[in-house]
Structure 1
């Protein structure tokens, strides 16, 4: 017997709910905000808009479907099913938060507060869901599922991390990280990375010894997708003067940037940015007591790396399937 589709409504606690949880009463929350020159009315208004969007989304689920809700903090403990249609009600960042827990389930992004969000990933209003939900399972018609590239990080002890925007590898306090950086795989071109310093291995495909990597000291490394090219990676790209073409959201490619590489007799700066296609990986071998790798800004869900460990980063086989 085929199971009916299940609508999973994903949301996060509003600022107002966070304030109530911290201060205990609406009056105390209002006093806290007023002491900082803010009005509780504006925070309550956004809370009510979120609640209304959630209620509309729940009401739009067909009667013969199963349904459930999950709050962002509970995502690591929630088990998604193959038949799920994931309805993210909130901001663009919430889609990124849920993406790494999925395995091909279609996602519909619902903007709970139009006008405040860019709407890159939460493109729809709640009142569009009666038409969008059937389209998500029909796999045909005018609506299409846009597949967005994700980045995967795998440590040599099998720890694994997925991210929709970017993965950061560096020191947990964002101080100096020490590691050896290597780019592996075929199909590389010298134009994708800065010229190598004298004595460094040549570009892939040229004659010469295998690439042994470059020891570096920096503020960490960012590896991002085309989706992430609108956020943290774009900031690094702009700061560097746009040295390469950032990938499109659906392109099977990643852009990477070394943050504030430090030149010294023992560390180099010849490899500070580049593009990885699906056949290539960035490998970092840890030369510090401790580094971490986390995705999409969630530092509490990080891989722990110690001296001598290596981590490989590249295009993930898993892709976010977002309803257009």
Structure 2
């Protein structure tokens, strides 16, 4: 295995994410997966989605992870680099494949998702691959519950990354991102539940907190400084020791709901990094999510900074909806 080769003198990242990035193949909209013959290629992965969202919003972002030495891995790294994400610490493994995600796309019925990740390069992440220099200077380290659920070694690596983030003085944001195809509710509670209280910022769905046996007040009592909850009605609340803020979802025609949570996280965290008040952070998260669900893949709708400003003005009724 080897690190992805990039020029020396790596710039200091503002944000570091670590996790699995897979090749995504999305069936043509409206066609069930079992009947689809035409697919669109993209990249999927909770942490890489957030990295892409933050990079497009102007934050220098580094992605840590592993891909196979195969066409899928090269495609994944090429797309991340195209969004100016630093992949210089990505590990290319010649003995394990890049994960593959197949899914269909429907705006009005359940979406079928197939993961092909058993034995993938990402699942072989180990603690000794993570070093202090990878997070040195970072303001924020973002992780999700998916990575520690991939394998025992990836779980240990996640714990190591939390230690490195603390030593570097970086904030930690954590999204449980529960995917029951990765394990039973009991395993999610035992592996991921304890990680919630180790973050500075948590971003979780209401249903995820219920499954993990956690609440926003309980997280704040455990030392989390900012607890964000995404509710079933698509609204979101942000709670701190100073109060609670609420944001309704912006109503848009949804083409595909997949990726909305990662998009919300990118918008919210960008607001935090920019020093915005929490009501503006929530609005940014809701706006980025609203843009993403209008597109088919996880990343097509992720805006740049100017696009986010225009979207917020439009959603709040302060600007023309057509940019001329």
| TM-score bin (small chain) | under 0.3
Choose 1 or 2 for highest CA Rg: 1
If the length of structure 2 is used for normalisation, what is the TM-score?
0.22
Say which structure, 1 or 2, has more relative contact order (CA 8 Å, 6+ apart): 1
If the length of structure 1 is used for normalisation, what is the TM-score?
0.22
